[in-house]
Chains A and B, each alone.
Chain A
Amino acid sequence: MKQKNYIEDPHLKKNPFTVPPGYFNEMRSQVAEKISSAGRSPKTGFITVIRPQLALVSAFVIIFFIGYAALTIFTPRASESDLSTLTAGNQYIEEGFLKTTFIDFFDVDGENETADIHTIPSEEVISYISENIDIITLTSLE
């Protein structure tokens, strides 16, 4: 048995869609209005032809500058005052005045104290005590 070919049915070729009444006249006047407000149709000029390429190049240039500006702004950079401080700091370290660890500080102080004690003559110590500390303080020390 031959199968029915639905698509070849002439009934299906008929347009089943409709439009609101007066649509095509309305559409014509809408298009006419739009092209009138758009003005004269643009003539082919050099700028018109290369406009898409110009737009592309401009976009690349803008992206490049945005990228460059972002890199410049967000990359950490030492300021002039920071540099001078760092230079002075380096010099200080080189001259041996600044030690970086706690032990170093401790050793320095210890050495200095010992050195100070050894360099003051005992006569000076005695005269200093006798001039500045009264007898009551001396007895209370015992």
Chain B
Amino acid sequence: MDDKDLLELFKEEGKENYAFNLIVDKYGERLYWHIRKLVASHEDANDLLQETFIKAWAALPRFREESRLYTWLYRIATNETLTFIKRAKLKAFLSLSDYSRQLENQLEADPYFNGDNTQMIFQKAIMRLPSKQKAVFNMRYFDELSYEDISEISGTSVGALKASYHHAYQKIQEYLKETI
């Protein structure tokens, strides 16, 4: 079922829950991986994903279909995650520790990380990026979204996104050259 049909079904009296569960089925996994790659921890990703869907459930009756459903959901998930990271950074700053270092430690201790050493170094390089740049890089590199879609999600111009991706790419490349 495509997004238009899902939204039509959602508008039908008494079918909201059913339609919404179909939306969760369709986008849950994709959004989970998007969040997980930003926060590293499975528990945090799970909490943020559930929060994303609760917010989407509350806001869906006001969804005006000016953007596509999946970019709208991506936007909610990204905003939720960036807000979470901002709070975590502040908490880390107050406890005089470095947030990206915390993420790296989390990655090393993560029982749900199955990558090899190169993948670990690559993920650490991504974790060192500023959070917005990291989100742009992940959406482009892993999710292979177009710049137009990322622009719709982030509310940033395509030109600025290209520059952001290029900077992220250079930083990661540098880190990999030094570390591998």
Interface residues of A (CB under 8 A from B): 3, 5-7, 9, 11-20, 23-24, 27-28, 30-32, 34-36, 38, 40-44
One of A18, A20, A28, A41 near B16 (C-beta < 8 A): A41
Bound state CA distance, A139 and B20, in angstroms? 123
Does B84 count as interface, using CB distance less than 8 angstroms? Answer: no
Chain B, interface size category, equals 35 or more
Given the known A-B contacts A5-B173, A7-B169, A24-B29, are A16 and B114 also in contact in the complex, defined by CB atoms under 8 Å? Answer: yes
When C-beta atoms are compared, the residue in chain B nearest to A43 turns out to be B61
Contact residues in A for B36 (Cβ distance below 8 Å): 17
Q: Which 4 A-B pairs have the closest CB atoms?
A: A16-B115, A6-B176, A16-B119, A18-B112
Does B49 count as interface, using CB distance less than 8 angstroms? Answer: yes
Contact residues in B for A41 (Cβ distance below 8 Å): 16, 20, 57-58, 60-61
Given the known A-B contacts A31-B24, A35-B53, are A3 and B119 also in contact in the complex, defined by CB atoms under 8 Å? Answer: no
Q: Are B57 and A17 in contact (CB under 8 A)?
A: no
Given the known A-B contacts A27-B49, A41-B58, are A20 and B173 also in contact in the complex, defined by CB atoms under 8 Å? Answer: no
Q: Are B113 and A17 in contact (CB under 8 A)?
A: yes
Contact residues in A for B12 (Cβ distance below 8 Å): none
Q: Are A28 and B21 in contact (CB under 8 A)?
A: yes
Bound state CA distance, A6 and B28, in angstroms? 30
Q: Are A35 and B20 in contact (CB under 8 A)?
A: yes
**What's the least CB distance linking B46 to chain A, in Å?**
7
Q: Are B28 and A24 in contact (CB under 8 A)?
A: yes
**What's the least CB distance linking B179 to chain A, in Å?**
10
Q: Are B60 and A6 in contact (CB under 8 A)?
A: no
One of A14, A28, A44 near B24 (C-beta < 8 A): A28
Contact residues in A for B21 (Cβ distance below 8 Å): 28, 31-32, 35
**What's the least CB distance linking B160 to chain A, in Å?**
21
Does B33 count as interface, using CB distance less than 8 angstroms? Answer: yes
**What's the least CB distance linking B118 to chain A, in Å?**
7
**What's the least CB distance linking A21 to chain B, in Å?**
11
Q: Are A7 and B114 in contact (CB under 8 A)?
A: no
Contact residues in B for A35 (Cβ distance below 8 Å): 17, 20-21, 53-54, 57
A14, A36, A41 — which one has the most chain B CB atoms within 10 A of its CB?
A41
Q: Are A11 and B119 in contact (CB under 8 A)?
A: yes
> Could you list 21 examples of A-B contacts with CB < 8 Å?
A6-B180, A7-B169, A7-B173, A11-B119, A13-B142, A16-B113, A16-B115, A16-B116, A16-B120, A17-B36, A17-B114, A18-B112, A19-B42, A19-B112, A20-B112, A32-B17, A32-B24, A35-B17, A38-B54, A43-B61, A44-B61
Does B50 count as interface, using CB distance less than 8 angstroms? Answer: yes
When C-beta atoms are compared, the residue in chain B nearest to A6 turns out to be B176
Q: Are B28 and A27 in contact (CB under 8 A)?
A: yes
Bound state CA distance, A2 and B159, in angstroms? 29
Q: Are A28 and B28 in contact (CB under 8 A)?
A: yes
Contact residues in B for A30 (Cβ distance below 8 Å): 50
Contact residues in B for A20 (Cβ distance below 8 Å): 42, 112
Q: From residue 115 to 148 of chain B, which have CB atoms closer than 8 A to chain A?
A: 115-116, 118-120, 122-123, 141-142
